[in-house]
Structure 1
Amino acid sequence: MKTLLLENILTAMNIQPNKKQKGIRIKTVTDDRSEIESHTLYFRWNNKEVPVNRIKNYTNVFIVTDTSFSDMEKLNSEQIIMVKDLKESFFKFTFYYRHLFHIPVVAITGTCGKSTTKEMLKHILEETHNVQATISSKNADYYNLSYLLGMDEETDVAVFETAVSKKGDMTQSCKYFYPTIGIMTMIDVDHTDQIRSFQDYLAEKAKIMEGMNNEGTLILNSDDPYLSTIDTSKFKGEIMTFGKNKNATFRIKKYEFHTSGMTFWIKYKQKEYKGYIPGLGEHNVYNAAASLAAAAILGVNLPYALKRLSSYHHMGSHFQIIEGRKQITLVDDTWKSNPASLRKGLETLSRVALPSQRKIAVLGRMASLGKYADEEYEKAGHLIAELGVDILITKGFIAKDFQKPAIEAGLDPNHIYHFSEADEMKRFFDSFLIPNDIVYFKTGGNDSDFDDVIDYLKR
């Protein structure tokens, strides 16, 4: 975080600083009580108790609050910054801090591909730029303040994921980051437990345009059927596209599967380029195309960007190939499970498995589907059979919902198994697996049993 003068922060929040609040340097701004130390400005959300006795051991601690709190009288009056609307004051601060830095900020949203696209773009940039970015897949809203404050005078470009799990998430994230470049990777059913309608979920994602003040550059997946329905008529900036569509700005001409990655050919401005990206699956070619589009906007030479992508280290648990014991192949795709990511995972499994390999899918539940759950489990079950999965193993009672539609679509009921605990699965695998099997793991329930079983089966 850039060190700030308290008086400048208060002025940005439309508060007139008093004499004792002038000349004081603030080194930490937080909404987390545990982070309070000397030279801290603390925003007190949800009427939380303030650790007054601990604060008295520090110098220059200031509390922004809209209500009184216990032992408030033990602090000096200048330490209490009473406001009418805490949320309004907080976002005046984020606006002030963000606009201290006149740099490009990339915001990435979509149902799948956010983290991978972000990591690819970061990797392209970080050899020549000082990049501030979200960490791994940690994109929940409570990380946003720390990500914003990670920007300072040394930052050249910022790349942030803007996730949506409930209404208002996109608008609020943009009030931290004020992106100048927006990427929408793809859209499918997800988080419809909190956002009950898929159309509302799509509309929430599309609010990234409002968050960009309908300016800057928007990068869209031209092959995604849902993204093609969003209204971009109010967007005044430039719209770029990527995909196999012949009119895409970054057109994916073709791609090939290799042992641990994808070779692809992409056309941009009448020139064709060849690239390679570690990580299997068509979806990774799309993620690469999105990251290349953003890099081009940021002025990166495309051959250089492609060279950087070839050394990208693929994210763990994202269709991660692992050598298992007894000559089996493990695929760890347990980072998340929603209809889109499961579909892409199963399609990639079907594509990379050899004819001689038994394709074994070990599935936990898909998360956060709400009223769409029955429909999506039915679709997934049918897909399991249609793609030629040989063995279906489900774990947890919700995941049983894959079984009936898989049988309806032609999977042999004798090739379906169900377990509740990791130890049961281990004992089963000890006697069931044979050399050359490929075993695909997928869950959306943050189920540590999957990690346990995968570790058990590693070579």
Structure 2
Amino acid sequence: MQPLDVSDILNLLQGELVTGSEHWQVQHAIYYNRHDLTHPNTLIFINKNDSINWQIINNRGPSLIISDKPISELKNALGNTTVIRVKNTLQAYWSFVEYYRGLFQIPVAAITGTCGKTTTKEMIKHILSKDWQIQASISSKNEPRQSLPYLTGINETSKAAVFELGLGNTGNIKHQCMIYKPTIGIITTIGVHHLDGCGNLEGYIKAKSEIVEGLSDNGTLIINADDENTKKIPLHNFKGKILRFGVQGQADFKASNIEFIKNGMKFLLHVSNQIYSAFIPGYGEHQVYNALAAIAAVNEMGIPINKAISRLRTFKQMIRHLEFSTGIGESTIIDDTWTNNPTSVEAALKVLDTIGKEKKVILVLGDINRLGNFEKKYHREIGTMIAKRNVSMLITIGTKAEEIAIQAKKDGTNAEVHIFKDVTGVLDVLKPKLDRDTILLIKGPMSSRSMIEFAESLKDK
């Protein structure tokens, strides 16, 4: 965080200094009970109804409290704590956020989508970090409550920022855009997820479209030209620049001649009548889409396309994202336990269509969560997808995933099907089948520690 004088914060928020000194600086900012207090020199927003542990705040001090609690309570602050009383804590918070974001005139990319958010974000960060100091969200930690620490992670050395936008409910993306004020918005793809928070697919698409409203009139929107659900987002009121990436139809950043080669994907990139040869580590056409979005974003920030392509060659594929390993009996294990939704399952199956042609294919699939009332529908659709493929064995783990197995059998799959409630006993079924001619895909929710650990146990250490 760029250090800020307490006196400037006092003037900004038009507050009243209750206790302490205004002649020092804060270097961190948190919201009480939402973020951990781990550093001295921290600004802390505290709501009227929050119960305050003054001793902990004092021990971590010096600290600056911003609150609308009664003065009688705020005077209980200890010696290492400065307190500013404001009329409304929430209004003070938004005034601070707007002020802090306004200190930096840098490109800020915000990314949403059912799949590919984290990978695209990491690709952008990888390309830019060679030249610039970059502020970025960490891994897939994209919850709205993370937004304040991420924003204040921008400082005077930052040349750009890239943030992944989490979506659990309608309004989440709008909230994050109000904080980040992105200059570039990216929608990777829109499939099916978080229907419990958005009601249905239409509600989910509408929630994703909040990123369009979150861009300024001179912002740039980068979208997937081939994605049918993305095409449903109304863009007629958007006054900024639109860049499209894709493979199938018209696109500003288009890939052709896509090939699976050793350790990744080779393709030709077409931009403004120019053709570039490109390679991205990691298997799957979806990985090419991620690369297209990343190249479009960094090019919009001023990075030449040739330089972006060159740097993507050294991109390190993320762990548990279709991660290939040698497993028991010299089998091939594909660990895709990072996330689980219908779109990512379909992408993984498409990779197997190519990589697994000469292999015995085994699928180990876990529950897909957060599908609301459409839970059985989408699990069954996956079962139908599997039945159309040459699969040797299908193992489902969990009560929801059981629907995949039931539907696959109903649709006439040739696979040997096993249904498990949890991972207990799965290895006994798998082990005799694992040899050098076998390729196994294991996919489950990131919330399932047991499936993640089971995937690790299949790998040859």
TM class by smaller structure: over 0.9
Deviation at 1:13, TM superposition (A): 2.8
Change (3 A) 1:56 1:440: closer
2:39 aligned with 1:27: no
Structure 2: how far apart are the matches of 1:56 and 1:105?
35
CA distance 1:59–1:311, shift in 2 (3 Å): closer
Whole-angstrom distance in 2 between the partners of 1:113 and 1:332: 16
Cα displacement (A) at 1:157: 0.4
Which residue of structure 2 lines up, in the alignment, with residue 452 of structure 1? 453
Say if 2:116 is the partner of 1:113: yes
In the alignment, residue 146 of structure 1 is paired with which amino acid?
P
Aligned to 1:280: 283
Query: Over residues 179-205 of structure 1, what are the superposed CA-to-partner deviations in whole Å (9 max), with x where a residue is unaligned?
Result: 001111110111011111221211111
1:107-256 alignment, distance < 5 Å: 107-256=110-259
User: Structure 1 residue 60: deviation in Å?
Assistant: 4.2
Inter-CA distance 358–103: structure 2 relative to 1 (3 Å threshold): same
Contact 2:18 2:71 in 1 (8 A): no
Q: How far apart in 2 are the matches of 1:52 and 1:440?
A: 51
Deviates more, 1:231-240 or 1:61-70: 61-70
Superposition RMSD on alpha carbons, in Å? Answer: 2.2
User: Does the CA contact (< 8 Å) of 1:361 and 1:440 recur in 2?
Assistant: yes
Cα offsets for 1:255-307 (capped at 9, x unmatched): 00113200011100101111000000000000000001011111111111101
Cα distance in 1 for residues equivalent to 2:166 and 2:58: 38
Q: Deviations over 1:39-86 (max 9, x none)?
A: 322112483321212334465422222335996442279933333432
Give the counterpart letter for 2:360 in structure 1: R
Is contact 2:4-2:25 (8 Å) kept? Answer: yes
Alignment of 1:20-419 (within 5 A): 21-32=21-32, 34-35=36-37, 37-45=39-47, 47-57=49-59, 60-68=62-70, 72-75=74-77, 79-355=82-358, 357-412=359-414, 415-419=416-420
Task: Name the CA distance, whole Å, in 2 between partners of 1:227 and 1:445.
Answer: 25
For 2:458 and 2:64, how far apart are their aligned partners in 1?
53
What TM-score, normalized to structure 2? 0.94
Change (3 A) 1:336 1:57: closer
Distance, in Å, in 2 between the alignment partners of 1:58 and 1:230 is 47
**1:369 offset after TM fit, Å?**
0.5
CA spacing shift, 1:345–1:70, aligned 2, 3 Å: farther
Distance 1:69 1:428, change over 3 A: farther
Unaligned runs of 5+ in 2: none
Structure 1 match to 2:430: 429
Is the CA contact (8 Å cut-off) linking 1:36 and 1:42 kept in structure 2? no
Question: CA–CA distance in 2 between the matches of 1:106 and 1:63?
Answer: 31
Please say which of residues 192-201 and 16-25 is displaced more in the overlay: 16-25
| Separation in 1, partners of 2:265, 2:59 | 57
TM-score by length of 1: 0.94
Q: 1:418 is matched by which residue type in structure 2?
A: I
Shift of the alpha carbon at 1:19? 10
Cα gap change, 1:305/1:445 in structure 2, threshold over 3 Å: closer, same or farther? closer
Q: Could you tell me how far apart the structure 1 residues matched to 2:10 and 2:315 are? A: 43
How many equivalent residue pairs? 457
Aligned residue for 1:15?
15
Between the aligned residues of both structures, percent identity stands at 33
Contact 1:49 1:69 in 2 (8 A): no
* Per-residue Cα deviation, 1:10-35 (whole angstroms, up to 9, x for no partner): 33334366896533311221124641
8 Å Cα contact 2:171-2:210 kept in structure 1: no
AA partner of residue 427 (structure 2)? K
Summarize deviations over 1:117-175 as a string: whole Å, max 9, x none. 11111111110111111111111122212111111000000011112111110111112
Amino acid at match of 1:400: E
Assess if the C-alpha contact under 8 Å between 1:50 and 1:69 holds in 2.
no
Provide the C-alpha distance between the structure 1 equivalents of 2:342 and 2:137, rounded to a whole number of angstroms.
24
* CA distance 1:199–1:25, change in 2 (3 Å): same
Asked if the contact 1:52/1:71 (under 8 Å) is kept, the reply is: no
1:428 Cα shift? 2.2
